[in-house]
Each structure stands twice: as structure tokens, then as C-alpha cells.
Amino acid sequence: MSASIITGCGTTSTVMDPIDASEVQPYSVSVEYNVEVSDDWKYMFESKLDVQLSAARMKADQTDTVSNLAEITFITFRLRDDGTRLMAGIFAGTDEITSNIVVRDSSGNVIGNGTVTTTNSSAWGSNDGYLEDHARDIVKFLQGNSEP
């Protein structure tokens, strides 16, 4: 089991057990929120993830006979209101979304494990953009790419 930490553009990924490229299959997804997240944010993130998986041609559908399961668990979810971020900037705190991802093959064996954290302390950007970035970085991990 190897560990690496990669940082850049407000995203940090800790890859405890990277997915081997030969094990990448279409994914079905399970999302669990271990922190309080409003239904609007849940819907927005899950929509962004769905779009990113589809764009990468990695979304499992009912016709797939073999697929992996990505179990995504949110462990931190802090987003400033877009207006507050614009008006108060860094004085309004830091946005941070952290998710742990466990990947299982079709037999239930764990084939990958990692954590993706997306942060922002500036006044720039939007919550929509952060959720999209977080979804994109999760998909990169699911593709076997250890760099966000």
C-alpha cells in the first residue's frame, strides 16, 4: 500500500491505494453524507458527478455486466454563501469539501481507496464551481489517475 499527497489548484488528493488502470470499469456510485449537507447541495454535487462520469464514459448503466462500485463518503462539507464570499472574502472563512472514496470491483473486493479535498480561501469562484471541481477530481481518481 503506497501513499502520496498531491496538491494544486485548491485540491489535495491523498491516494492510499490507487486504482490500477487495468481494473477501471464503468462505475455505479453510492454517496453517503457523514456531515450535514442541504438537499440542494447534495443534488448539485450528485448532478455534477453524474455529468463528469458520463463525459468520461465511466457511468455504469443497466446494460453493463461488469462494473465497479465507488463508495463516496463526505467527511467535511463547508461552503460559504457566494454573496458572503464576494463581500467578505477570506474574512468569511474557507470553503472545504473532503470525501473518502472506496472502490470495489464487481466481486466486492476493495481495489482503490483515496481522499479528495477541495478548498478555497479566496473571494473568487462559486459553490457551483467547487462542487464541479470536486466531482471532476473524484472522477480522475476513479480513472486511476493519482493527480487531481
Q: What is the pLDDT of residue 3?
A: 39
- Residue 77 above 70 pLDDT? yes
Question: 68: which strand partners?
Answer: 27
Strand order of the β-sheet with 95-104 is: 4-8, 11-17, 110-120, 95-104, 68-78, 27-33
- C-beta neighbour count of 73 within 10 angstroms: 16
Please, which residues have CB within 8 angstroms of residue 55's CB and are 6 or more apart in sequence?
A: none
Q: Decide if 139 contacts 52 (C-beta within 8 A).
A: yes
31-66: per-residue pLDDT in tens?
A: 999 999 989 889 999 999 999 999 999 999 877 778
Place of cell 457523514: 34
- Residue 5 above 50 pLDDT? no
CA angle 68, 43, 14 (to 5 degrees): 50
Q: Decide if 29 contacts 36 (C-beta within 8 A).
A: no
Domain 4-142 has CATH 3.30.160: yes
- Rounded to two decimals, the pTM is 0.80
As a whole number, the mean pLDDT across the chain is 80
Of the pLDDT bands very low, low, confident and very high (cuts 50, 70, 90), residue 22 is: confident
DSSP character string of 3-71:
-EEEEETTEEEEEEEPPPGGG---EEEEEEESS---HHHHHHHHHHHHHHHHHTT-B--TT-SS-EEEE
Burial environment of residue 129 by CB neighbours within 10 A (0 to 12, 13 to 18, 19 or more): middle
- Residue 121 above 80 pLDDT? no
The predicted model gives 1-30 an average pLDDT of 66
- Residue 68 above 60 pLDDT? yes
- Residue 107 above 50 pLDDT? yes
83-106: per-residue pLDDT in tens?
A: 555 555 555 567 789 999 999 998
Q: What is the pLDDT of residue 8?
A: 32
